[in-house]
Amino acid sequence: MKKLRLWIRLSAGLLLVAGSGFAIREYQRTKERAELPVATARKGDFLVMVRCRGELTARRSEQVVAPVDVPDLQIVWLAPAGGEVKTGQTIIKFDPSKSQQDLKEKQAALEQAQATLEQAQSQALIQDEQDKLDLATANYEAEKAKLEASKAAIVSAIQGQESTIDLGLAEEKLKVEKASIELHKKSNEAKIASLTRLRNAAQAWVDLTNHQLEQMEMKSPLDGVINYVPNYSQGWVNAQPFKVGDHAVPGGLLAEIPDLSTLEVESKVDEVDRGKIAVGDQVLVHVDAFPEKTLNGTLNSVSPLTEQSFNEWPPTRSFRAFAKLDNPDARMRPGMNAGADIVQAKLPGAISVPAKALFTRDGKPTVYVRGPDGQYAPAAVTIAARNPDEIAVEGIGEGTVVALTEPQQRENQ
């Protein structure tokens, strides 16, 4: 009798333990089902897209180049790097002290050359007046000698010969005077021309120095942001963007100013996706720096040739696609990383679920639908379209709750 009671107690204990284990297992399974990540099928416009990555670029930009005819350029002031600038705004200043000193010297040389020229012109005028007086005197003497020579018929032969000799001398003197006047004229013209060239050369130096001083302040050619390029004067290893105190090479590149109104997204499209897109397609742009904002754009060009990349193996080929932004954000800058979703097509009224909700069961696309009892049952669906995040399906209705992980896998863990 005691053995019977012992066996009964032992059996009851085993049943209690087995029941408890089963209850715990069922509780855990129910809890796991309740904790499955889920999503709700939605109905609306479904976008068939090609997703690619790239960066912001400016279609239009201007280079800022150091003056080519100014020696010894040292930067004494720069507009803040990356800051916005306006057309005509001063962006770079060079040290003007040497040019200012040169200007003083050139102006002094110009004033001296001008004074020398004016003195020569005054002397030429005086000489011209004196020559006119001497010419008039010589003409008078010649006319007087002619008059005396005309009396040779009525005076003695000796007086007549003297008058003829005097006439010859007067005429020779007149010829000498005319030659002397011509010589003075040519000499003065040559001297004035030479001094004029010297004055003009001095004026040219003054003008050049003034032009150099004007170039000591460089202005922005357009509205945009200024980015200074590296200064390689200390070697490639030590290259840093130009800063105050640096010396610039005449004609060397100092900075670039992209036009923010021409911002676009330059991205790489895989070779297999090239045939799916076309110029004019809508583009949804997501800039990494502003993930909360989606910008609209339009695909305006695609490179005609592929580019091969050896950064991964096997090498890949891609096309460059450019999308113009409809309304660029003022905070955006060239070089920012961005994603571009190129819209191939739009399916109105489509039922869509997240891509993670689609599984394969018996070789068919399947979603796991949650029933009224909280259990998940497989439901075969037909795929209408795909994009990187969602799948448009047929076979379930709007509002259907589907699992994002396969329930069987969770139960077998």
- Residue 16, in any domain of the structure: no
pLDDT at 21: 54
Assess contact for 57 and 321: CB atoms under 8 A.
no
Region 313-323: mean pLDDT is: 86
DSSP class of residue 288 equals T
* CA-wise closest residue to 61 among 230, 257, 293: 257
Residue 206 and residue 222 in one domain: no
Report which of residues 75 and 126 the model is more confident about.
Answer: 75
Q: Could you give the 3-state DSSP secondary structure of residue 124?
A: helix
- Residue 52, in any domain of the structure: yes
Distance between CA atoms of residues 246 and 73, nearest Å: 8
Assess contact for 325 and 7: CB atoms under 8 A.
no
Residue 249 and residue 313 in one domain: no
Q: Could you give the 3-state DSSP secondary structure of residue 236?
A: coil
Question: Given pLDDT bands bounded at 50, 70 and 90, which one contains residue 131?
Answer: confident
Tokens, residue 145: 């000698």
Cα–Cα distances in angstroms (integers) from residue 38 to residues 354, 360, 377, in the given order: 10, 17, 13
Is the pLDDT at 27 greater than 50? The verdict is no
Question: What percent of the chain stands above pLDDT 90?
Answer: 49
Residue 177 and residue 245 in one domain: no
Q: What is the tally of structural domains in the chain?
A: 3
Name 71's Cβ contacts closer than 8 Å, sequence gap at least 6: 250
Sign of dihedral through CA atoms 42, 47, 49, 55? negative
Q: CATH number of the domain that 254 lies in?
A: 2.40.50.100
Cβ neighbours, 10 Å, residue 8: 10
- Residue 390, in any domain of the structure: yes
Distance between CA atoms of residues 350 and 365, nearest Å: 17
Residue 270 and residue 204 in one domain: no
Rounded (10°) CA dihedral 228, 229, 234, 240: 60
Report which of residues 95 and 26 the model is more confident about.
Answer: 95
Question: Given pLDDT bands bounded at 50, 70 and 90, which one contains residue 156?
Answer: low
Q: CATH number of the domain that 118 lies in?
A: 1.10.287.620
Region 356-361: mean pLDDT is: 92
Q: Starting from the edge strand earliest in sequence, which strands make up the sheet with 253-258, in order?
A: 61-65, 253-258, 227-228
* CA-wise closest residue to 273 among 51, 15, 1, 89: 51
Residue 402 and residue 390 in one domain: yes
Dmax over CA atoms of the chain, in Å, equals 206
Is the pLDDT at 352 greater than 80? The verdict is yes
Residue 88 and residue 226 in one domain: yes
Rounded to 5 degrees, what are φ and ψ at 124? -65, -40
pLDDT at 172: 75
Residue finishing a domain among 159, 179, 214: 214
Tell me which residue has tokens 């610039």.
248
Rounded (10°) CA dihedral 174, 175, 178, 183: -140
Residue 249 and residue 191 in one domain: no
Query: Mean pLDDT for the chain?
Result: 84
- Residue 27, in any domain of the structure: no
Report which of residues 156 and 306 the model is more confident about.
Answer: 306
- Residue 382, in any domain of the structure: yes
pLDDT at 412: 44
Is the pLDDT at 367 greater than 80? The verdict is yes
- Residue 232, in any domain of the structure: yes
Assess contact for 190 and 173: CB atoms under 8 A.
no
- Residue 8, in any domain of the structure: no
Query: Ramachandran region of residue 72, left (φ > 0), alpha (ψ -120 to 50) or beta?
Result: left
Residue 221 and residue 308 in one domain: no
Distance between CA atoms of residues 322 and 342, nearest Å: 11
Tokens, residue 49: 């897209």
Residue finishing a domain among 155, 189, 214: 214
pLDDT at 158: 61
pLDDT at 411: 45
User: What pTM, to 2 d.p., does this model score?
Assistant: 0.62
Indicate the residue type of 212.
Q
pLDDT at 12: 59
Q: CATH number of the domain that 348 lies in?
A: 2.40.30.170
Residue 272 and residue 402 in one domain: yes
Residue-number span of the structural domain to which 246 is assigned: 67-93+217-258
Residue 278 and residue 403 in one domain: yes
pLDDT at 328: 84
Rounded to 5 degrees, what are φ and ψ at 196? -65, -40
DSSP class of residue 154 equals T
- Residue 139, in any domain of the structure: yes
pLDDT at 7: 60
Residue 276 and residue 388 in one domain: yes
Q: Which of 47-51, 100-104, 407-411 has the lowest mean pLDDT?
A: 407-411
Region 319-339: mean pLDDT is: 90
Residue 158 and residue 75 in one domain: no
Q: Which of 89-103, 137-151, 200-214 has the lowest mean pLDDT?
A: 137-151
pLDDT at 413: 43
Residue finishing a domain among 214, 230, 249: 214
Which residues does residue 64 pair with via DSSP β-bridges, in sequence order?
Answer: 255
